Amino acid sequence: ATVLQYRDVQKLYGDFVALQGVSMEVKKQQVVCLIGPSGSGKSTLLRCTNALETIDGGEILFDGVRLPKDRTAIRKVRQRMGMVFQNFELFPHKTAIENVIMGPSTVLGLSDEASRDRAEALLKKVGLADKAKNYPANLSGGQQQRVAIARALAMEPEVMLFDEPTSALDPETIGEVLNVMKALADDGMTMIVVTHEMTFARRVADHVVVFERGEIIEQGPPKQIFEAP
Ligand code: ADP
Ligand code: ADP
């Protein structure tokens, strides 16, 4: 089954063509890695995917349905996608567990107890059960990013979008985040990952899409993309 289908997607910023002729798909339980130089349009594509940006041409289908334009419908669609950013974007005045609880409790309307149970289970899953009461400032970058992943998962998304999740991390904490992502992939989560981590892309991706100047220049299984010409 296809979760996300992109057909001839175009995105403009004024006269600047940020995406052009982008066609690709993400099938259920696949990990699709987007690679390519900085400025080639990868994160623009993610922001168009969860409707943080609108596209100027072509179409994006989510579960076979075109992304909506009105705000209420967009909010609903966005709830079905988990987004993880380069800079974590945790709420600094909330503890790790409060960051994770907030979505289920305020957005999904789960009871306090159900929200807390879910958050505890997810913090355990990302290896941070013992850091639940820490504030973000008292966590390493890698730990903050794992909280951010738990927070996104708490909404039980159908697809997870990762925008360079390890680019802002100290080298020694990159591995712990990639391991959590690998475990998620093994659980069957559908994922799009913008990354410069070629080892991750080679080992974990089902499909690799190479961007350059807003266009896809190559796509295929990692074996094909990374094998010497
Ligand atoms: P499936 O298990 O759905 O049949 P496979 O992973 O076996 O998919 O791939 C079958 C073919 O489709 C391969 O040539 C592969 O490169 C290609 N393929 C897999 N995933 C994608 C994708 N997301 N977009 C385009 N082609 C893909
Ligand atoms: P990547 O994720 O591959 O590094 P981006 O998608 O962030 O690339 O950016 C693609 C291009 O679009 C870059 O040249 C960037 O400067 C430009 N761009 C991104 N967002 C905006 C914006 N809001 N306004 C104008 N230009 C933008």
Q: What is the pLDDT of residue 122?
A: 98
Residues of the chain with pLDDT under 50: none
DSSP states along 77-141: HHHTEEEE-TT----TTS-HHHHHHHIIIIIS---HHHHHHHHHHHHHHTT-GGGTT--GGGS-H
42 lines ligand 2 (CB under 6 A): yes
Are 47 and 208 in contact by the 8 Å Cβ rule? The answer is no
Are 162 and 191 in contact by the 8 Å Cβ rule? The answer is yes
Ligand number, closest to the Cα atom of 207: 1
Ligand number, closest to the Cα atom of 46: 2
Give which of 176, 82, 92 is closest to 138, Cα–Cα.
92
Ligand 2 test: best mutation among 9, 11, 15, 16, most atoms within 8 Å of CB? 16
132 lines ligand 1 (CB under 6 A): no
Amino acid at 194: V
pLDDT (tens digit per residue) in 87-105: 999 999 999 999 999 999 9
158 lines ligand 1 (CB under 6 A): no
pLDDT (tens digit per residue) in 192-205: 999 999 999 999 99
Q: What is the pLDDT of residue 143?
A: 98
Element (H, E) at 210: strand 207-212
With 0-12 CB in 10 A as exposed, 13-18 as middle and 19+ as buried, what is 206? middle
Phi, psi of 31 (to 5 degrees): -110, 120
In the block, residue with structure tokens 């999904």:
108
Are 159 and 81 in contact by the 8 Å Cβ rule? The answer is yes
CA angle 165, 169, 174 (to 5 degrees): 75
Residue 200, both tokens: 């991750």
20 lines ligand 2 (CB under 6 A): no
Backbone dihedral region for residue 158 (phi beyond 0: left; psi -120 to 50: alpha; all else: beta)? alpha
Are 35 and 41 in contact by the 8 Å Cβ rule? The answer is no
Residue 31, both tokens: 């990990």
Measured in Å, residue 223 CA sits from the centre of ligand 1 at 12
Give which of 149, 148, 162 is closest to 47, Cα–Cα.
162
Query: In the beta sheet, which residues pair with residue 191?
Result: 31, 160
Report the predicted TM-score, pTM, of the whole model to 2 decimal places: 0.95
State the closest ligand 2 atom to the C-alpha of 36, by its place in the atom list counted from 1. 3
Element (H, E) at 8: strand 2-13
